[in-house]
Amino acid sequence: MLDIRYIRENTEEARRRLLGRGEEWAGPFDELLSTDESWRGALTEVNELRQRRNEASRSIPKMDDGDEKKKLIEEVRELKERMDGLEDDLKKLEEKRTDLLLNIPNLPVENVPVGSDEADNEIVRTWGEPKEHEFDAKGHEEIGESLGIIDFERGVKISGSGFYALRGDGAKLERALICFMLDLHAEQGYEEIFPTIIVNEKAMIGTGQLPKFKDDMYWIESDNMFLVPTAEVPLTNMLMDEILDEDSLPIWFNAYTPCFRREAGRHADTKGIIRVHQFNKVELVKFSTPESSFDELEGLTADAEEVLKRLKIPYRVSLLCTGDLGFSSAKTYDLEAYLPSRNDYVEISSCSDFTDYQARRANIRYRPKGESKPRILHTLNGSGIAIGRTMVAILDNYQQADGTVVVPEVLRPYMGIDVIEKQPLWRPI
RNA sequence: GCCGAGAUGGCCCAGCCCGGUAAGGCGCGAGCCUGGAAAGCUCGUGGAGGUUCACUCCUCGGGGGUUCAAAUCCCCCUCUCGGCGCCA
Protein backbone atom coordinates (compact mmCIF):
# COMPACT_ATOMS: atom_id res chain seq x y z
CA MET A 1 0.00 0.00 0.00
CA LEU A 2 1.01 3.58 -0.53
CA ASP A 3 2.94 5.66 1.95
CA ILE A 4 0.33 8.09 3.25
CA ARG A 5 2.98 10.42 4.60
CA TYR A 6 4.58 10.74 1.20
CA ILE A 7 1.15 11.51 -0.23
CA ARG A 8 0.46 14.17 2.39
CA GLU A 9 3.79 15.84 1.89
CA ASN A 10 4.04 15.49 -1.90
CA THR A 11 0.40 15.53 -2.87
CA GLU A 12 0.70 16.90 -6.41
CA GLU A 13 3.61 14.68 -7.34
CA ALA A 14 1.80 11.61 -6.00
CA ARG A 15 -1.38 12.53 -7.85
CA ARG A 16 0.46 13.00 -11.12
CA ARG A 17 2.23 9.67 -10.77
CA LEU A 18 -0.94 7.80 -9.88
CA LEU A 19 -2.97 9.42 -12.66
CA GLY A 20 -0.43 8.10 -15.15
CA ARG A 21 -2.34 4.86 -14.70
CA GLY A 22 -5.55 6.54 -15.78
CA GLU A 23 -7.83 9.40 -14.89
CA GLU A 24 -10.16 7.03 -13.05
CA TRP A 25 -7.80 7.12 -10.07
CA ALA A 26 -8.42 10.82 -9.42
CA GLY A 27 -11.56 10.03 -7.46
CA PRO A 28 -10.09 7.44 -5.10
CA PHE A 29 -7.02 9.62 -4.61
CA ASP A 30 -9.04 12.64 -3.53
CA GLU A 31 -11.21 10.44 -1.35
CA LEU A 32 -8.12 9.07 0.33
CA LEU A 33 -6.85 12.57 1.08
CA SER A 34 -10.14 13.75 2.54
CA THR A 35 -10.68 10.54 4.50
CA ASP A 36 -7.19 10.77 5.91
CA GLU A 37 -7.79 14.33 7.00
CA SER A 38 -11.09 13.47 8.67
CA TRP A 39 -9.47 10.50 10.30
CA ARG A 40 -6.68 12.60 11.73
CA GLY A 41 -9.16 15.13 13.06
CA ALA A 42 -11.23 12.44 14.72
CA LEU A 43 -8.10 10.79 16.09
CA THR A 44 -6.93 13.98 17.76
CA GLU A 45 -10.35 14.53 19.26
CA VAL A 46 -10.62 10.99 20.60
CA ASN A 47 -7.06 11.08 21.91
CA GLU A 48 -7.79 14.21 23.92
CA LEU A 49 -10.76 12.54 25.55
CA ARG A 50 -8.74 9.41 26.15
CA GLN A 51 -6.06 11.46 27.84
CA ARG A 52 -8.58 12.99 30.24
CA ARG A 53 -10.10 9.64 30.97
CA ASN A 54 -6.73 8.03 31.58
CA GLU A 55 -5.61 10.80 33.91
CA ALA A 56 -8.81 10.67 35.94
CA SER A 57 -8.89 6.92 36.01
CA ARG A 58 -5.32 6.74 37.19
CA SER A 59 -5.96 9.11 40.06
CA ILE A 60 -8.94 7.16 41.37
CA PRO A 61 -7.00 4.42 43.20
CA LYS A 62 -4.92 7.08 44.99
CA MET A 63 -7.99 8.71 46.50
CA ASP A 64 -9.66 7.94 49.80
CA ASP A 65 -13.23 6.70 49.66
CA GLY A 66 -15.75 9.49 49.79
CA ASP A 67 -17.95 11.81 47.81
CA GLU A 68 -15.10 13.23 45.83
CA LYS A 69 -14.08 9.81 44.59
CA LYS A 70 -17.66 8.90 43.72
CA LYS A 71 -17.94 12.12 41.80
CA LEU A 72 -14.81 11.40 39.79
CA ILE A 73 -15.97 7.88 38.97
CA GLU A 74 -19.23 9.31 37.75
CA GLU A 75 -17.33 11.86 35.69
CA VAL A 76 -15.25 9.22 33.95
CA ARG A 77 -18.39 7.24 33.28
CA GLU A 78 -19.93 10.20 31.51
CA LEU A 79 -16.72 10.83 29.63
CA LYS A 80 -16.79 7.29 28.37
CA GLU A 81 -20.31 7.66 27.06
CA ARG A 82 -19.28 10.72 25.12
CA MET A 83 -16.33 8.82 23.70
CA ASP A 84 -18.31 5.83 22.47
CA GLY A 85 -19.89 7.60 19.51
CA LEU A 86 -16.67 9.33 18.56
CA GLU A 87 -14.74 6.10 18.70
CA ASP A 88 -17.24 4.47 16.38
CA ASP A 89 -16.80 7.33 13.91
CA LEU A 90 -13.04 7.00 14.19
CA LYS A 91 -13.19 3.29 13.55
CA LYS A 92 -15.35 3.77 10.47
CA LEU A 93 -12.99 6.40 9.10
CA GLU A 94 -10.05 4.16 9.76
CA GLU A 95 -11.70 1.26 7.94
CA LYS A 96 -12.49 3.47 4.99
CA ARG A 97 -8.94 4.78 4.93
CA THR A 98 -7.46 1.28 5.05
CA ASP A 99 -9.87 0.11 2.38
CA LEU A 100 -8.84 2.96 0.09
CA LEU A 101 -5.17 2.32 0.71
CA LEU A 102 -5.57 -1.38 -0.09
CA ASN A 103 -7.44 -0.65 -3.31
CA ILE A 104 -5.21 2.04 -4.79
CA PRO A 105 -2.34 0.74 -6.93
CA ASN A 106 1.33 1.55 -6.58
CA LEU A 107 2.74 4.79 -8.00
CA PRO A 108 4.67 4.28 -11.23
CA VAL A 109 8.32 5.31 -11.08
CA GLU A 110 9.03 8.69 -12.67
CA ASN A 111 11.00 7.30 -15.63
CA VAL A 112 8.29 4.86 -16.69
CA PRO A 113 6.74 5.98 -20.01
CA VAL A 114 3.29 7.47 -19.61
CA GLY A 115 0.72 5.72 -21.75
CA SER A 116 -2.67 4.07 -21.76
CA ASP A 117 -2.08 0.53 -23.04
CA GLU A 118 0.51 -1.88 -24.41
CA ALA A 119 0.87 0.15 -27.59
CA ASP A 120 2.71 2.74 -25.49
CA ASN A 121 5.21 0.28 -24.06
CA GLU A 122 8.81 0.99 -24.92
CA ILE A 123 10.92 -1.73 -26.51
CA VAL A 124 14.29 -1.43 -24.80
CA ARG A 125 16.21 -4.22 -26.55
CA THR A 126 15.85 -7.31 -28.70
CA TRP A 127 17.94 -10.44 -28.74
CA GLY A 128 18.41 -13.06 -31.45
CA GLU A 129 17.30 -13.23 -35.05
CA PRO A 130 13.59 -13.94 -35.47
CA LYS A 131 13.56 -17.34 -37.09
CA GLU A 132 11.76 -17.86 -40.38
CA HIS A 133 10.88 -21.48 -41.13
CA GLU A 134 11.31 -22.59 -44.71
CA PHE A 135 8.07 -24.51 -44.49
CA ASP A 136 4.59 -23.59 -43.38
CA ALA A 137 5.07 -23.09 -39.65
CA LYS A 138 2.41 -24.57 -37.40
CA GLY A 139 1.19 -23.20 -34.11
CA HIS A 140 2.17 -24.97 -30.89
CA GLU A 141 -1.31 -26.34 -30.32
CA GLU A 142 -1.27 -28.13 -33.65
CA ILE A 143 2.26 -29.45 -33.12
CA GLY A 144 1.51 -30.54 -29.59
CA GLU A 145 -1.66 -32.33 -30.56
CA SER A 146 -0.26 -34.08 -33.64
CA LEU A 147 2.79 -35.29 -31.70
CA GLY A 148 0.48 -36.49 -28.92
CA ILE A 149 2.35 -34.53 -26.24
CA ILE A 150 -0.42 -32.07 -25.37
CA ASP A 151 -3.78 -33.62 -24.59
CA PHE A 152 -6.43 -30.93 -24.65
CA GLU A 153 -9.44 -33.22 -24.77
CA ARG A 154 -8.60 -35.16 -21.67
CA GLY A 155 -7.59 -32.06 -19.76
CA VAL A 156 -11.03 -30.66 -20.45
CA LYS A 157 -12.69 -33.97 -19.60
CA ILE A 158 -11.21 -34.20 -16.12
CA SER A 159 -11.09 -30.48 -15.21
CA GLY A 160 -12.88 -28.33 -17.75
CA SER A 161 -12.22 -25.69 -20.35
CA GLY A 162 -8.83 -24.04 -20.03
CA PHE A 163 -7.04 -27.15 -18.76
CA TYR A 164 -4.73 -29.54 -20.56
CA ALA A 165 -2.59 -32.55 -19.80
CA LEU A 166 0.89 -33.39 -21.05
CA ARG A 167 1.94 -36.84 -22.16
CA GLY A 168 5.17 -38.70 -22.70
CA ASP A 169 7.96 -36.49 -23.99
CA GLY A 170 5.70 -33.46 -23.50
CA ALA A 171 5.49 -34.15 -19.78
CA LYS A 172 9.20 -34.79 -19.77
CA LEU A 173 9.93 -31.52 -21.56
CA GLU A 174 7.93 -29.66 -18.94
CA ARG A 175 9.94 -31.30 -16.18
CA ALA A 176 13.22 -30.68 -18.03
CA LEU A 177 12.42 -26.97 -18.31
CA ILE A 178 11.68 -26.72 -14.61
CA CYS A 179 14.94 -28.41 -13.66
CA PHE A 180 16.99 -26.46 -16.19
CA MET A 181 15.67 -23.12 -14.92
CA LEU A 182 16.04 -23.96 -11.24
CA ASP A 183 19.62 -25.10 -11.83
CA LEU A 184 20.44 -21.97 -13.81
CA HIS A 185 19.08 -19.65 -11.13
CA ALA A 186 20.88 -21.54 -8.39
CA GLU A 187 24.04 -20.91 -10.38
CA GLN A 188 23.14 -17.20 -10.54
CA GLY A 189 22.94 -17.09 -6.75
CA TYR A 190 19.29 -17.60 -5.90
CA GLU A 191 18.28 -19.76 -2.97
CA GLU A 192 15.90 -22.46 -4.08
CA ILE A 193 12.66 -22.60 -2.12
CA PHE A 194 9.82 -25.04 -2.35
CA PRO A 195 6.97 -23.02 -0.89
CA THR A 196 3.38 -23.82 -0.05
CA ILE A 197 0.89 -23.33 -2.85
CA ILE A 198 -2.22 -22.91 -0.74
CA VAL A 199 -1.97 -19.68 1.22
CA ASN A 200 -4.04 -17.73 3.70
CA GLU A 201 -5.82 -14.43 3.23
CA LYS A 202 -3.13 -12.42 4.95
CA ALA A 203 -0.50 -13.54 2.47
CA MET A 204 -2.76 -12.66 -0.47
CA ILE A 205 -3.28 -9.18 0.97
CA GLY A 206 0.46 -8.86 1.54
CA THR A 207 1.38 -9.12 -2.12
CA GLY A 208 -1.69 -7.25 -3.40
CA GLN A 209 -3.93 -9.95 -4.88
CA LEU A 210 -6.56 -9.22 -2.25
CA PRO A 211 -8.91 -7.56 -1.68
CA LYS A 212 -9.24 -6.23 -5.23
CA PHE A 213 -8.72 -9.36 -7.32
CA LYS A 214 -10.50 -12.05 -5.34
CA ASP A 215 -12.56 -13.10 -8.37
CA ASP A 216 -9.39 -14.02 -10.23
CA MET A 217 -8.31 -16.47 -7.53
CA TYR A 218 -9.26 -20.03 -6.75
CA TRP A 219 -10.71 -19.78 -3.27
CA ILE A 220 -11.13 -22.69 -0.88
CA GLU A 221 -14.18 -21.54 1.02
CA SER A 222 -14.14 -24.14 3.81
CA ASP A 223 -10.75 -22.91 5.04
CA ASN A 224 -10.67 -19.41 3.54
CA MET A 225 -7.47 -20.23 1.70
CA PHE A 226 -6.32 -19.58 -1.84
CA LEU A 227 -4.44 -21.44 -4.56
CA VAL A 228 -1.46 -19.29 -5.47
CA PRO A 229 -1.70 -17.42 -8.78
CA THR A 230 2.11 -17.16 -8.74
CA ALA A 231 4.98 -18.18 -6.45
CA GLU A 232 5.45 -14.48 -5.79
CA VAL A 233 2.79 -14.80 -3.11
CA PRO A 234 4.37 -17.48 -0.89
CA LEU A 235 7.95 -16.38 -1.62
CA THR A 236 7.43 -12.72 -0.76
CA ASN A 237 5.34 -13.53 2.29
CA MET A 238 8.01 -15.92 3.57
CA LEU A 239 9.41 -12.86 5.32
CA MET A 240 6.15 -11.19 6.32
CA ASP A 241 6.22 -9.49 9.74
CA GLU A 242 9.99 -9.91 9.94
CA ILE A 243 12.79 -7.44 10.60
CA LEU A 244 16.02 -8.31 8.79
CA ASP A 245 19.56 -7.11 9.34
CA GLU A 246 20.82 -4.86 6.57
CA ASP A 247 23.75 -7.26 6.21
CA SER A 248 21.45 -10.04 5.09
CA LEU A 249 20.19 -8.00 2.10
CA PRO A 250 19.73 -8.51 -0.73
CA ILE A 251 17.93 -11.84 -0.42
CA TRP A 252 17.29 -13.78 -3.62
CA PHE A 253 14.78 -16.62 -3.79
CA ASN A 254 13.72 -18.81 -6.67
CA ALA A 255 11.05 -21.44 -6.77
CA TYR A 256 9.06 -23.64 -9.04
CA THR A 257 5.32 -23.85 -8.36
CA PRO A 258 2.17 -24.52 -10.26
CA CYS A 259 0.07 -21.36 -10.64
CA PHE A 260 -3.71 -21.15 -10.65
CA ARG A 261 -5.79 -18.42 -12.24
CA ARG A 262 -9.52 -18.36 -12.77
CA GLU A 263 -9.27 -15.84 -15.62
CA ALA A 264 -12.81 -14.86 -14.69
CA GLY A 265 -14.66 -12.86 -17.31
CA ARG A 266 -11.87 -13.44 -19.80
CA HIS A 267 -12.13 -15.61 -22.85
CA ALA A 268 -9.11 -17.50 -24.06
CA ASP A 269 -7.53 -14.96 -26.40
CA THR A 270 -5.60 -17.70 -28.14
CA LYS A 271 -5.95 -21.35 -28.86
CA GLY A 272 -3.65 -23.71 -27.08
CA ILE A 273 -1.86 -23.31 -23.79
CA ILE A 274 -1.03 -19.59 -23.80
CA ARG A 275 -3.77 -18.68 -21.33
CA VAL A 276 -4.95 -21.48 -19.06
CA HIS A 277 -6.16 -21.98 -15.49
CA GLN A 278 -3.19 -24.00 -14.31
CA PHE A 279 0.39 -23.59 -15.42
CA ASN A 280 3.88 -24.05 -14.11
CA LYS A 281 6.33 -21.26 -13.49
CA VAL A 282 9.76 -20.72 -12.03
CA GLU A 283 9.76 -17.47 -10.15
CA LEU A 284 12.48 -15.12 -8.93
CA VAL A 285 11.92 -12.94 -5.86
CA LYS A 286 14.25 -10.38 -4.33
CA PHE A 287 14.27 -8.33 -1.14
CA SER A 288 16.49 -5.26 -1.22
CA THR A 289 17.21 -1.92 0.36
CA PRO A 290 15.42 1.02 -1.26
CA GLU A 291 18.76 2.34 -2.49
CA SER A 292 19.62 -0.69 -4.60
CA SER A 293 16.22 -1.87 -5.72
CA PHE A 294 16.34 -0.49 -9.28
CA ASP A 295 19.76 -2.04 -9.85
CA GLU A 296 18.35 -5.28 -8.52
CA LEU A 297 15.56 -5.06 -11.09
CA GLU A 298 18.07 -4.79 -13.93
CA GLY A 299 19.91 -7.84 -12.57
CA LEU A 300 16.75 -9.82 -12.09
CA THR A 301 15.59 -9.09 -15.63
CA ALA A 302 18.99 -10.14 -16.99
CA ASP A 303 18.77 -13.37 -14.99
CA ALA A 304 15.40 -14.17 -16.55
CA GLU A 305 16.69 -13.26 -20.03
CA GLU A 306 19.53 -15.73 -19.59
CA VAL A 307 16.98 -18.55 -19.73
CA LEU A 308 15.89 -17.54 -23.23
CA LYS A 309 19.46 -16.94 -24.35
CA ARG A 310 20.51 -20.43 -23.34
CA LEU A 311 17.45 -21.90 -25.03
CA LYS A 312 18.32 -19.80 -28.08
CA ILE A 313 14.85 -18.35 -28.33
CA PRO A 314 14.72 -14.84 -29.86
CA TYR A 315 13.04 -12.32 -27.60
CA ARG A 316 12.62 -8.66 -26.84
CA VAL A 317 12.36 -6.67 -23.62
CA SER A 318 9.78 -3.95 -23.21
CA LEU A 319 9.35 -1.40 -20.48
CA LEU A 320 5.68 -1.24 -19.60
CA CYS A 321 3.99 2.13 -19.75
CA THR A 322 2.01 3.47 -16.80
CA GLY A 323 -1.31 2.26 -18.15
CA ASP A 324 -0.12 -1.32 -18.68
CA LEU A 325 1.57 -1.66 -15.28
CA GLY A 326 0.35 -4.29 -12.82
CA PHE A 327 -1.49 -3.17 -9.70
CA SER A 328 1.37 -3.45 -7.20
CA SER A 329 4.26 -2.65 -9.53
CA ALA A 330 6.15 0.61 -9.84
CA LYS A 331 8.24 -0.48 -12.82
CA THR A 332 8.01 -3.58 -15.01
CA TYR A 333 9.95 -5.13 -17.85
CA ASP A 334 8.20 -7.77 -19.93
CA LEU A 335 10.14 -10.42 -21.82
CA GLU A 336 8.45 -11.47 -25.02
CA ALA A 337 9.46 -14.56 -26.97
CA TYR A 338 9.29 -14.66 -30.74
CA LEU A 339 6.87 -17.13 -32.34
CA PRO A 340 7.57 -17.83 -36.03
CA SER A 341 4.07 -19.19 -36.67
CA ARG A 342 2.58 -15.86 -35.67
CA ASN A 343 5.45 -13.68 -36.78
CA ASP A 344 4.97 -11.92 -33.47
CA TYR A 345 6.17 -11.81 -29.90
CA VAL A 346 4.27 -13.22 -26.90
CA GLU A 347 4.77 -12.34 -23.24
CA ILE A 348 6.76 -14.98 -21.43
CA SER A 349 8.05 -13.19 -18.33
CA SER A 350 7.31 -10.11 -16.32
CA CYS A 351 9.93 -8.56 -14.02
CA SER A 352 8.80 -5.92 -11.57
CA ASP A 353 9.98 -3.62 -8.84
CA PHE A 354 7.27 -3.17 -6.24
CA THR A 355 9.27 -0.61 -4.26
CA ASP A 356 7.85 -0.52 -0.72
CA TYR A 357 4.27 -1.20 -1.79
CA GLN A 358 4.13 -4.91 -0.99
CA ALA A 359 6.57 -4.70 1.90
CA ARG A 360 4.38 -2.14 3.64
CA ARG A 361 1.37 -4.43 3.27
CA ALA A 362 3.28 -7.52 4.35
CA ASN A 363 5.19 -5.61 7.04
CA ILE A 364 8.66 -6.63 5.90
CA ARG A 365 11.37 -4.39 7.32
CA TYR A 366 15.09 -4.20 7.85
CA ARG A 367 17.29 -2.46 10.35
CA PRO A 368 19.72 -0.12 8.60
CA LYS A 369 23.27 -0.22 9.93
CA GLY A 370 23.86 2.44 12.56
CA GLU A 371 20.15 3.00 13.06
CA SER A 372 17.90 1.48 15.65
CA LYS A 373 14.56 2.04 13.92
CA PRO A 374 13.43 -0.46 11.30
CA ARG A 375 12.65 0.65 7.74
CA ILE A 376 10.40 -0.88 5.11
CA LEU A 377 12.40 -2.68 2.44
CA HIS A 378 11.76 -3.17 -1.27
CA THR A 379 10.49 -6.31 -2.99
CA LEU A 380 10.91 -7.42 -6.59
CA ASN A 381 9.96 -10.43 -8.62
CA GLY A 382 9.97 -11.84 -12.09
CA SER A 383 9.08 -14.97 -13.93
CA GLY A 384 12.22 -16.93 -14.51
CA ILE A 385 10.27 -18.02 -16.55
CA ALA A 386 6.76 -19.31 -17.36
CA ILE A 387 7.15 -22.98 -18.25
CA GLY A 388 4.04 -23.48 -20.40
CA ARG A 389 4.79 -20.50 -22.60
CA THR A 390 8.41 -21.56 -22.88
CA MET A 391 7.13 -24.86 -24.23
CA VAL A 392 5.03 -22.89 -26.71
CA ALA A 393 8.14 -21.00 -27.83
CA ILE A 394 10.20 -24.18 -28.13
CA LEU A 395 7.59 -26.04 -30.17
CA ASP A 396 7.17 -23.05 -32.45
CA ASN A 397 10.87 -22.23 -32.90
CA TYR A 398 12.24 -25.77 -32.98
CA GLN A 399 9.61 -27.43 -35.19
CA GLN A 400 10.79 -29.16 -38.34
CA ALA A 401 9.23 -29.77 -41.73
CA ASP A 402 8.41 -33.38 -40.83
CA GLY A 403 6.41 -32.30 -37.79
CA THR A 404 8.97 -33.35 -35.18
CA VAL A 405 10.59 -30.94 -32.73
CA VAL A 406 14.30 -30.64 -32.02
CA VAL A 407 15.18 -30.52 -28.34
CA PRO A 408 17.19 -27.37 -27.45
CA GLU A 409 20.75 -28.32 -26.69
CA VAL A 410 20.74 -27.25 -23.04
CA LEU A 411 17.73 -29.46 -22.37
CA ARG A 412 19.17 -32.65 -23.85
CA PRO A 413 20.94 -33.72 -20.65
CA TYR A 414 17.57 -33.44 -18.90
CA MET A 415 15.58 -35.13 -21.68
CA GLY A 416 17.91 -37.85 -22.83
CA ILE A 417 16.71 -37.39 -26.43
CA ASP A 418 17.51 -34.99 -29.29
CA VAL A 419 14.19 -34.93 -31.06
CA ILE A 420 10.57 -35.23 -29.96
CA GLU A 421 8.65 -37.53 -32.23
CA LYS A 422 5.07 -38.69 -32.37
CA GLN A 423 4.13 -40.41 -29.13
CA PRO A 424 2.67 -43.91 -29.29
CA LEU A 425 -0.81 -44.15 -27.85
CA TRP A 426 -0.59 -45.77 -25.42
CA ARG A 427 2.95 -46.81 -24.87
CA PRO A 428 3.34 -50.58 -25.12
CA ILE A 429 4.83 -52.22 -22.03
C1' G B 1 -12.13 -34.51 14.85
C1' C B 2 -11.19 -35.02 20.48
C1' C B 3 -8.17 -33.66 24.91
C1' G B 4 -4.40 -30.60 26.99
C1' A B 5 -0.80 -26.48 26.98
C1' G B 6 0.40 -22.01 24.85
C1' A B 7 0.58 -16.89 21.85
C1' U B 8 3.63 -10.61 25.91
C1' G B 9 8.44 -5.23 22.23
C1' G B 10 14.10 -7.65 17.29
C1' C B 11 14.80 -12.43 20.47
C1' C B 12 14.01 -14.91 25.38
C1' C B 13 10.90 -14.44 29.38
C1' A B 14 8.04 -12.45 34.20
C1' G B 15 3.32 -10.55 35.26
C1' C B 16 -2.52 -13.54 34.83
C1' C B 17 -4.95 -17.22 40.38
C1' C B 18 -5.71 -11.87 43.57
C1' G B 19 -7.66 -5.83 37.76
C1' G B 20 -4.56 -0.07 39.12
C1' U B 21 1.13 3.50 34.11
C1' A B 22 4.26 -3.92 30.83
C1' A B 23 9.46 -6.12 35.09
C1' G B 24 14.00 -8.39 33.78
C1' G B 25 17.71 -10.60 30.48
C1' C B 26 19.95 -10.89 25.54
C1' G B 27 20.84 -8.44 20.97
C1' C B 28 21.25 -3.78 18.51
C1' G B 29 22.06 1.75 18.58
C1' A B 30 23.80 6.42 20.90
C1' G B 31 26.60 8.53 24.80
C1' C B 32 30.04 8.53 29.13
C1' C B 33 34.74 6.46 30.35
C1' U B 34 39.70 5.12 27.57
C1' G B 35 45.87 6.41 24.26
C1' G B 36 42.58 2.71 21.71
C1' A B 37 39.53 -1.28 22.96
C1' A B 38 37.12 -4.51 26.46
C1' A B 39 34.51 -4.19 30.84
C1' G B 40 31.43 -0.97 33.41
C1' C B 41 27.72 2.89 33.62
C1' U B 42 23.59 6.04 31.37
C1' C B 43 19.90 6.56 27.79
C1' G B 44 17.39 4.56 23.67
C1' U B 45 15.42 0.38 20.86
C1' G B 46 6.74 -1.42 18.02
C1' G B 47 2.89 1.85 15.60
C1' A B 48 0.11 6.48 15.04
C1' G B 49 -1.03 11.75 15.79
C1' G B 50 1.42 16.35 16.61
C1' U B 51 3.60 23.47 15.98
C1' U B 52 8.48 17.11 14.47
C1' C B 53 10.72 20.39 20.44
C1' A B 54 7.77 18.90 24.03
C1' C B 55 3.68 15.98 24.50
C1' U B 56 -0.40 12.55 23.66
C1' C B 57 -2.73 8.13 22.09
C1' C B 58 -2.67 3.01 20.62
C1' U B 59 -0.17 -1.89 21.15
C1' C B 60 0.34 -8.08 25.57
C1' G B 61 -2.60 -13.45 18.80
C1' G B 62 -7.75 -11.18 16.79
C1' G B 63 -12.76 -9.54 18.05
C1' G B 64 -16.62 -8.53 21.61
C1' G B 65 -18.17 -7.85 26.91
C1' U B 66 -17.82 -6.48 32.38
C1' U B 67 -15.43 -2.21 35.00
C1' C B 68 -13.88 4.41 36.83
C1' A B 69 -9.78 1.09 35.23
C1' A B 70 -8.29 -5.28 31.66
C1' A B 71 -1.99 -8.50 29.65
C1' U B 72 -4.93 -9.89 34.15
C1' C B 73 -12.05 -11.42 34.73
C1' C B 74 -16.10 -13.42 31.03
C1' C B 75 -17.57 -14.93 25.82
C1' C B 76 -16.33 -15.99 20.61
C1' C B 77 -12.57 -16.81 16.92
C1' U B 78 -7.56 -17.74 14.76
C1' C B 79 -2.93 -19.85 14.98
C1' U B 80 1.18 -22.81 17.31
C1' C B 81 2.96 -26.98 20.24
C1' G B 82 2.02 -31.88 22.61
C1' G B 83 -1.12 -36.38 23.10
C1' C B 84 -5.07 -39.46 20.87
C1' G B 85 -7.60 -40.65 16.25
C1' C B 86 -7.02 -40.77 10.90
C1' C B 87 -3.32 -41.00 7.22
C1' A B 88 0.45 -40.04 1.78
Q: CA A427 → C1' B36, Å?
A: 79
Spatial contact of A344 and A354, defined as CB atoms under 8 Å apart: no
Q: CA A246 → C1' B41, Å?
A: 29
The answer, yes or no, to whether residue A18 has pLDDT greater than 60, is: yes
For residues A369 and A262, state if they share a domain. Answer: yes
The Cα A217–Cα A226 span in angstroms is: 7
The 10s digit of each residue's pLDDT in A153-198 is 999 999 999 999 999 999 999 999 999 999 999 999 999 999 999 9
Residue A427 lies in a domain: no
Residue A108 lies in a domain: no
Query: Smallest Cα–C1' distance to nucleotide B45: which residue has it?
Result: A372
Query: Smallest Cα–C1' distance to nucleotide B69: which residue has it?
Result: A57
Q: CA A266 → C1' B59, Å?
A: 44
Handedness of CA A185, A186, A190, A194 (dihedral sign): positive
For residues A263 and A143, state if they share a domain. Answer: yes
For residues A317 and A408, state if they share a domain. Answer: yes
The 10s digit of each residue's pLDDT in A25-62 is 999 999 999 999 999 999 999 999 999 999 888 888 88
The answer, yes or no, to whether residue A268 has pLDDT greater than 60, is: no
The 10s digit of each residue's pLDDT in A225-249 is 999 999 999 999 999 999 998 989 9
Domain count, chain A: 2
For residues A158 and A260, state if they share a domain. Answer: yes
The Cα A235–Cα A255 span in angstroms is: 8
Q: Which of A273, A266, A274, A318 shows the shortest CA–CA distance to A117?
A: A318
Residue A429 lies in a domain: no
Q: What is the pLDDT of residue A1?
A: 93
Q: Name residue A127's beta-bridge partners.
A: A315
**A154: CATH:** 3.30.930.10
Alpha-carbon distances, residue A273 vs A278, A393, A412 (angstroms): 10, 11, 23
Query: Smallest Cα–C1' distance to nucleotide B50: which residue has it?
Result: A44
For residues A75 and A210, state if they share a domain. Answer: no
- Distance between first and last Cα of chain A: 57
A393 class by beta-carbon count within 10 Å (0-12 exposed, 13-18 middle, 19+ buried): buried
Residue A13's pLDDT band (cuts 50, 70, 90) = very high
Residue A95 lies in a domain: yes
The answer, yes or no, to whether residue A429 has pLDDT greater than 80, is: no
Q: What is the pLDDT of residue A267?
A: 65
For residues A14 and A141, state if they share a domain. Answer: no
Whole-number mean pLDDT of chain A? 94
Q: Which amino acid is at A305?
A: E
- Which residues are CB-neighbours of A311 under 8 A, at least 6 positions away? A390, A393, A394, A408, A410, A411
Domain housing A70: 4-103
Query: Which bases of strand B have any atom within 7 Å of the beta carbon of a protein residue?
Result: 10, 20-21, 28-30, 44-50, 56-58, 64, 68-69, 79
Last residue of a domain, one of A77, A103, A129: A103
Q: What is the pLDDT of residue A102?
A: 94
For residues A237 and A372, state if they share a domain. Answer: yes
For residues A22 and A158, state if they share a domain. Answer: no
Label residue A208 left, alpha or beta by phi (over 0 means left) and psi (-120 to 50 means alpha).
left
* Active site residue ranges of A: 261, 275, 347, 350, 389
For residues A72 and A139, state if they share a domain. Answer: no
Q: Tell me the nt nearest to A43, Cα to C1'.
A: B49
Burial letters for A16-48: b for 16+ Cβ neighbours within 10 Å, e otherwise?
A: ebbbbbeeebeebbeebbebbebbeebeeebee
What ipTM goes with this model?
A: 0.91
Residue A194 lies in a domain: yes
Residue A334 lies in a domain: yes
For residues A190 and A214, state if they share a domain. Answer: yes
For residues A97 and A126, state if they share a domain. Answer: no
Q: CA A364 → C1' B5, Å?
A: 30
Q: Name residue A288's beta-bridge partners.
A: A378
Last residue of a domain, one of A103, A132, A161: A103
Last residue of a domain, one of A76, A103, A130: A103
Listing DSSP states for A225-280 in one string gives EEE-SSTHHHHHHTTTT-EEEGGG-SEEEEEEEEEE---TT---SSSSSSS-SEEE
For residues A132 and A85, state if they share a domain. Answer: no
Residue A113 lies in a domain: no
